[in-house]
Structure 1
């Protein structure tokens, strides 16, 4: 039953929701921002990137059996918005960095999971706690990034964050999704 639900969910996402999976070789472009609805507040918001993670797992009812967990970073085209009158390459870079930050925290999540969760029993005990903590750190970082760069308008702060994000991607490169 669980597999039928998962199959239906994946098929409906493929049909109705367009997702881009993070890859070093794939960069966002303005045609990826397909939402017509701006649900953000503020005059300085030129675009909104809706991104995060999806995960799947295979575990057994036997608590000692190894568990397999996959975490992927996604950009949701149908929930990402742009003001077509104000977009430019600089703003697109800022939005790409939001997507890159999601990948940084996915890598941190993969790292911690690989270190602490080996079996189905470990998954039951630790996954939710680890996931929620990393999710909170990720959301805090995204807010701080937008706040300190004023949504990318402060070029010196944006440059600083570009460097920090690139360093973090490099620091956690061994936890890239396979």
Structure 2
């Protein structure tokens, strides 16, 4: 018997919102930020990017059979917000980098999965631990990114993170989706 399971994190109401899959070379624009509600704290928040991953898997009841796992990076338009009076191209770049960071960590997750999970038994034994480890690293990175750049306002730090994120995308290019 085959089962399919889809799980999401950092994304609320995904079934009710529009989503954009991360694609090489495809950039966000301000029209993608459709929420009218700012759920973030602080007056210095100009925009909020709601992004993360979805994953699905298909596995047999035979624990030795191969398992197919698909991991997508998504941007949730209806949960992403902007202050129309304060947005600009620089802020959009900062928000794009949040989406790019989600893709970096999706690639790290794909790498770990491809190296450690070969069949249903491996999936049952390792997937949750791998997922939770990468998720924690992702959340910590996003928090540090916003903290060190002060939500993109520290231009030198933003430039440094732009370079780091580009390097990480390149380092894990073998784990991008086609």
Q: Given the two structures, how large is their TM-score scaled by the length of structure 2?
A: 0.92
Unaligned runs of 5+ in 1: 7-11
Contact kept? 2:14, 2:76, Cα under 8 Å: no
Q: Distance in 1 between matches of 2:81 and 2:14?
A: 19
- Displacement after TM superposition at 1:177 (Å): 1.4
1:161 aligned onto 2:151: no
- Displacement after TM superposition at 1:149 (Å): 0.1
The alignment's C-alpha RMSD in Å is 1.7
Q: Quote the residue 1:22 is aligned against.
A: 22
Unaligned runs of 5+ in 2: 7-12
After TM superposition, the runs of 4+ consecutive aligned structure 1 residues lying more than 2 A away are none
Q: Distance in 2 between matches of 1:121 and 1:158?
A: 43
Q: Distance in 1 between matches of 2:73 and 2:91?
A: 21
Deviations along 1:131-154, one digit per CA (max 9) or x if unpaired, are 011000000000000000000000
Contact kept? 2:46, 2:82, Cα under 8 Å: yes
Alignment coverage as a number of residue pairs? 171
- Displacement after TM superposition at 1:26 (Å): 1.1
Which is helix-richer, 1 or 2? Answer: 1
User: After the TM superposition, which residues 37-52 of structure 1 pair with which residues of structure 2 at under 5 Å, given as runs?
Assistant: 37-52=37-52
- Displacement after TM superposition at 1:25 (Å): 2.3
- Say which SS state the counterpart of residue 103 (structure 2) adopts: helix
User: After the TM superposition, which residues 1-178 of structure 1 pair with which residues of structure 2 at under 5 Å, given as runs?
Assistant: 16-178=16-178
- Say which SS state the counterpart of residue 74 (structure 2) adopts: strand
Q: Distance in 2 between matches of 1:119 and 1:126?
A: 11
Q: Distance in 2 between matches of 1:35 and 1:71?
A: 25
Q: Distance in 2 between matches of 1:53 and 1:87?
A: 26
Q: Given the two structures, how large is their TM-score scaled by the length of structure 1?
A: 0.92
Deviations along 1:98-138, one digit per CA (max 9) or x if unpaired, are 00000000000000000000000000000011001100000
- Displacement after TM superposition at 1:2 (Å): 5.8
Q: Distance in 2 between matches of 1:79 and 1:85?
A: 19
Deviations along 1:37-59, one digit per CA (max 9) or x if unpaired, are 10101111000000000001000
